[in-house]
């Protein structure tokens, strides 16, 4: 059976992020839908409550037309003037709630909340206050509404203190009536001259603007001509007179049976039924729904980074570990191969019974290559030890100057071979650290500086202000010096160069375990290794 080859691929961030985004989007969409559902339930209850309020209002306003003395309710005579009062009430309810209403009563087919003008007219007799008569009149012809659609007049519409949307969609205008024609029997009026008013809240007094609107009344047969002299109750002193004020209220647009989505149950009155059209949930809460959608998308996009990052980093650690081990094995095999091949070749020469004059030479070379391999193995073991997070650290007072002096003494032969000059002003500075790990780190850094510096140049060592800095002159560009702290990475790309590429990695690991930091950089042809203690 053929074995399968498994290859660990370098992870990407896009795929886990998209998967995470879809999951978080579903989660937040579910939570958002729960919130919208709660708002919808509240909306349903509000509409139902409004319907009950409306039914109560209609019954109250029509109470005078019904006889509730027995079960066989009868509707008394309802005039057009009565209809004007009821229509004004229905339109007023729309102005307050934004809900459309209509009723069927007696011989009159439909009384709805569509846009109209209503005048409240009062005949005041100062000599006989009990004789005061009030009338509710509706506009005889809706063509007069065109006068209220100018830009100047539109600026005077009533805006409720809550700024409800339906006031902007269905403008409500207030005005004082100076002159008009009235048909009190049918409850109708024809405007002649009015003064526009502004209102900043539903139940505040009118504020006259001085803007006068005049109408061409046309045919006024059967109407009574009335001039109010723009009086108010407080102005009336000595004569019988009319005062009048009015509203333009109600909804605009067509009125179809299909629009009325809530119908009241039969009320028991044989000629009366009420209907209510609620402003749809999506229209009432369109801003809320839009904001919920935007918030859901934004939160999902933001929170998706968390699980995506966790998944990506986990896979990346696995991949990095795999790559790290692969490169380490490749480097070890390559570095050990050269001295092993050399030792093998010298051993073969010895086995060929060469002359005694060559035996000592070949034996020496074998020992030299074995020593080199042994040094590599020891370096690998030191590196493995430096990577061990569980290694026991024993800190004690350590003299940095003494450590550096000892390391320089141990490297005298290398320093002499490369004709390197050491510049070091010995200072006695005591730190609390693990002397073995710290000494190994210092030894690797000084050895690296001596081996890789320009022959005959200077290695400078300075101690002070919580730092140890080792500087040597280099020949050529080392590229990204930060990578030199990675295992088996050398300053030269060719593998055959001197060293294992583990010295700086061991020093970095040791110092990290001791709570110190190693920084590497090149500057003006110099390689600088700085330890922050």
% residues pLDDT > 90 (the chain): 6
* Strands 458-464 and 421-424, bridge-based pairing: parallel
Question: Helix H segments across 261-390?
Answer: 281-284, 286-303, 305-351, 356-387
CA-based nearest residue to 384, from 470, 468, 318, 325: 325
* Contact call for residues 335 and 499 (beta carbons, < 8 A): no
* Contact call for residues 175 and 189 (beta carbons, < 8 A): no
Average pLDDT of 490-497? 48
* Strands 241-249 and 173-183, bridge-based pairing: antiparallel
- Is the pLDDT assigned to residue 62 strictly greater than 70? no
CA distance 103 to 86: 9
% residues pLDDT > 70 (the chain): 68
CA distance 150 to 258: 31
pTM of structure: 0.45
Least confident segment among 231-245, 253-267, 367-381, 486-500: 486-500
* Contact call for residues 184 and 225 (beta carbons, < 8 A): no
Per-chain mean pLDDT for the chain: 75
CA-based nearest residue to 523, from 481, 467, 462: 481
Average pLDDT of 377-404? 72
Question: What separation in angstroms does the CA of 170 have from each of 115, 250, 373, 498?
Answer: 8, 7, 94, 89
Give the pLDDT band of residue 71 (cuts 50, 70, 90).
very low
Give the pLDDT band of residue 230 (cuts 50, 70, 90).
low
Least confident segment among 248-252, 360-364, 446-450, 505-509: 360-364
Domains and CATH numbers, the chain: 10-67+74-112+263-303 (no CATH), 115-249 (no CATH), 392-533 (3.30.565.10)
Please, how many CA atoms are within 13 Å of residue 264, restricted to the half-sphere of its CB? Answer: 24
Least confident segment among 214-223, 233-242, 404-413, 491-500: 491-500
| More confident of the two residues 165 and 463 | 463
393: left (phi over 0), alpha (psi -120 to 50) or beta: beta
pLDDT tens-digit profile of 167-219? 445 567 888 898 999 999 889 999 999 988 876 555 555 677 888 899 999 99
* Contact call for residues 8 and 322 (beta carbons, < 8 A): yes
| More confident of the two residues 171 and 15 | 15
Average pLDDT of 487-509? 63
CA-based nearest residue to 181, from 198, 171, 194, 169: 194
Classified as helix, coil or strand, 24 is helix
- What are the DSSP calls for 246-277, one per residue? EEEESB-S---GGG--EEPPP-S-TT-EEEEE
* Contact call for residues 371 and 410 (beta carbons, < 8 A): no
Classified as helix, coil or strand, 25 is helix
Give the pLDDT band of residue 264 (cuts 50, 70, 90).
low
pLDDT tens-digit profile of 330-361? 666 666 666 676 667 667 666 766 666 677 67
pLDDT tens-digit profile of 282-312? 877 888 889 899 998 898 888 888 888 888 8
- What are the DSSP calls for 136-197, one per residue? EEEES-GGGGGGGGSHHHHTT----TT--HHHHHS--EEEEEEEEEEETTTTEEEEEEEEEE
Sequence-distant (6+) residues with CB within 8 A of 448 are: 499, 503, 504, 507, 529
Give the pLDDT band of residue 106 (cuts 50, 70, 90).
low
CA distance 89 to 297: 45
Least confident segment among 97-101, 338-342, 522-526: 338-342
pLDDT tens-digit profile of 407-434? 888 778 778 877 888 888 777 788 888 8
- Is the pLDDT assigned to residue 267 strictly greater than 70? no
In 3-state terms the chain splits into helix, strand, coil percentages (rounded to 5) of 45, 25, 30
């Amino acid at each position: 059976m053929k074995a399968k080859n498994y290859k660990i691929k370098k992870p990407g961030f896009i795929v886990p992020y998209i998967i995470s985004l879809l999951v978080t989007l579903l989660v937040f969409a579910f939570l958002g839908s729960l919130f919208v559902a709660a708002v919808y339930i509240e909306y349903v209850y509000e509409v139902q409550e409004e319907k009950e309020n409306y039914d109560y209002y209609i019954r109250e306003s029509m109470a005078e037309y019904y006889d509730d003395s027995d079960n066989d309710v009868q509707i008394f005579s309802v005039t057009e003037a009565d209809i004007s009062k009821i229509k004004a009430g229905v339109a007023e309810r729309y102005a307050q709630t934004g809900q459309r209403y209509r009723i069927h009563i007696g011989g009159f087919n439909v009384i709805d909340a569509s846009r109209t003008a209503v005048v409240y007219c009062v005949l005041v007799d100062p000599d006989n206050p009990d004789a005061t008569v009030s009338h509710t009149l509706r506009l005889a012809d809706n063509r007069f509404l065109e006068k209220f659609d100018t830009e100047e007049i539109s600026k005077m519409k009533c805006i409720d203190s809550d700024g409800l949307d339906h006031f902007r969609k269905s403008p409500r205008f207030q005005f004082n009536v100076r002159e008009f024609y009235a048909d009190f029997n049918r409850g109708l009026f024809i405007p002649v001259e009015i003064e526009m008013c502004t209102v900043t809240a539903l139940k505040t007094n009118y504020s006259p603007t001085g803007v006068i609107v005049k109408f061409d009344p046309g045919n006024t047969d059967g109407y009574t001509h009335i001039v109010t002299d723009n009086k108010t109750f407080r102005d009336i002193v000595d004569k019988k007179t009319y005062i009048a004020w009015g509203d333009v209220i109600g909804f605009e647009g067509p009125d179809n049976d299909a629009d009325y989505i809530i119908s009241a149950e039969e009320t028991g009155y044989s000629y009366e039924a009420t209907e209510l059209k609620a402003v749809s949930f999506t229209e009432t809460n369109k801003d809320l729904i839009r904001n919920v959608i935007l918030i859901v998308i934004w939160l999902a996009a933001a929170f998706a980074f968390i699980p995506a990052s966790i998944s990506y980093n986990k896979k990346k650690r696995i991949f990095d570990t795999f790559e790290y081990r692969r490169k380490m094995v490749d480097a070890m095999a390559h570095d050990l191969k050269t001295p092993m091949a050399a030792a093998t070749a010298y051993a073969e020469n010895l086995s060929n019974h060469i002359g005694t004059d060559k035996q000592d030479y070949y034996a020496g070379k074998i020992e030299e290559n074995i020593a080199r391999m042994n040094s590599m193995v020891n370096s690998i073991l030191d590196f493995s030890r430096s990577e061990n997070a569980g290694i026991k650290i024993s800190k004690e007072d350590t003299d940095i100057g003494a450590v550096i002096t000892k390391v320089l003494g141990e490297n005298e032969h290398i320093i002499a071979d490369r004709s390197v000059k050491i510049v070091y002003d010995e200072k006695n500075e005591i730190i609390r650290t693990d002397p073995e790990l710290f000494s190994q780190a210092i030894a690797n850094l000084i050895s690296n500086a001596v081996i890789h510096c320009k022959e005959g140049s200077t290695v400078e060592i300075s101690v002070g202000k919580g730092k140890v800095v080792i500087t040597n002159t280099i020949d050529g560009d080392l590229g990204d010096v930060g990578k030199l702290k990675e295992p088996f990475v050398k300053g030269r790309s060719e593998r055959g160069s001197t060293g294992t590429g583990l010295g700086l990695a061991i020093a970095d690991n040791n110092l990290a375990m001791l709570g110190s930091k190693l920084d590497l950089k090149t500057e003006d042809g110099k390689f600088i290794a700085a330890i922050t203690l």
